Amino acid sequence: MAKKVVVGLSGGVDSSVAAYLLKKQGYEVYGVTMDIWTEGAVDTVNGGCLGSQAKEDARKVAETLDIPYKVVDVRGKFRENVMNYFADSYKNGETPNPCTLCNRRVKWEALFKGAELFGAEYVATGHYAKIRKLANGRYTIANSYTAAKDQTYALCNLTQEQLRRTLLPIGDYEKSEVRKIAAEAGIEIAAKPDSMEICFIPDGDYAGYLEKEYGIAAHKGNFVDVDGNVLGEHRGIVHYTIGQRKGLGIAFGKPMFVKEIRPETNEVVLSDNEGLFTERVVAERINFMAETKEEIEASDKIYLAKIRYNHKGGECKLSFEEDRIAAEFLEPQRASAPGQTLVVYNEAGEVVCGGRIVRN
């Protein structure tokens, strides 16, 4: 009897090809799309996971591949775990990464809900990553074949049980190969562009969204230097993120960057580029993958850690402070932002652990 798998169809080419490949491999494939539509959200043709067009595209793909298809309502979970978290983070002067949280607490839960509906053992997505079971019995996410599209960073919060039952069939392909497979399979969206913005704010206006949806107004305050000297007036802390240079609205005679955001005093601290570098990054809410806390503590290994999605990573050593982890980098790293995710890799390109960056 063929094994059953539920594929998360997002309306994009990657998830569509994932479903196609699994069907070719002999799986009994079912399609599921998350319904995260919320009142007042902006609908766009390329609205990522959110737009009504994405759901229509997913339905058409299911028809083309001749697989059963359902939409799973996760609107409540999405608002609670992703949208509210995003708003609270910006209000507190942080730069959140909602995708890492959404994958664990919303997307995969929706997939497993679909698995229950169809009686499937496995779930699958179109992420560019691989899953490995290691000698210590643990499951982990490993780098995909193509570094240009590697999405291991976004999957760092998945649990061991989620990993055990997950398939990632396009982790061995380049994006160009995936588009070619889609075209050959007759999938209409083979050339559909990738979604780049946060799915529930497709126009990229974070400040406008926060004020309209959550009543979080942008109050003016002071730009200050590291010594507390006032340099000028800012538009509200929700307009800024660590490392930002453009859009400050003031000429300083030399390049100045956002070094720190202080919500308690409504101040934005500016510095030159050198002031953005740090050798130590601390994270909380740690999710362990390739190694347990005890295994990390017992080793003296050098790891590679990323402090944001497009960060190339830096070599570091790890230590623990109660329930937090500290990455001590061998070379200073630029613009570590509270709210972003610290993801640690071993020499094999496997995710060791991940956690939410906090203020040092």
Q: Which of 49, 99, 199, 316 is catalytic?
A: 199
- Residue 102 bears catalytic tag: yes
Say if residue 248 carries a ligand binding annotation: no
Does residue 12 have a known ligand-binding role? yes
142 neighbors 348 (Cβ within 8 angstroms): yes
Q: Is 40 annotated as a binding residue?
A: no
Whether residue 13 is annotated as binding a ligand: the answer is yes
Active-site annotation holds for 199: yes
Q: Determine whether the annotation assigns residue 10 to a binding site.
A: yes
Other Cβ atoms closer than 10 A to 320: 12
126 is known to lie in a ligand binding site: yes
Instruction: Specify the long-range contacts of residues 275-279, CB closer than 8 Å, at least 24 apart.
Output: 275/226, 276/242, 276/243, 276/334, 276/335, 277/332, 277/333, 277/334, 278/329, 278/332, 278/333, 278/336, 278/360, 279/328, 279/329, 279/331, 279/332, 279/333
Distance CA 193, CA 45 (A): 10
| 299 marked as part of a ligand binding site | no
Q: Which candidate in 102, 156, 316, 353 is catalytic?
A: 102
The answer to whether 76 is annotated as binding is no
Residue 51's CB: how many other CB atoms inside 10 A?
Answer: 22
Give DSSP secondary structure letters for 245-283: -TT-----SS--EEEEEETTTTEEEEE-GGGGEEEEEEE
- Please report, in range form, the residues annotated as the binding site for ATP: 8-15, 34, 126
User: Which residues are the active-site residues?
Assistant: 102, 199
Known binding-site residues equal 8-15, 34, 126
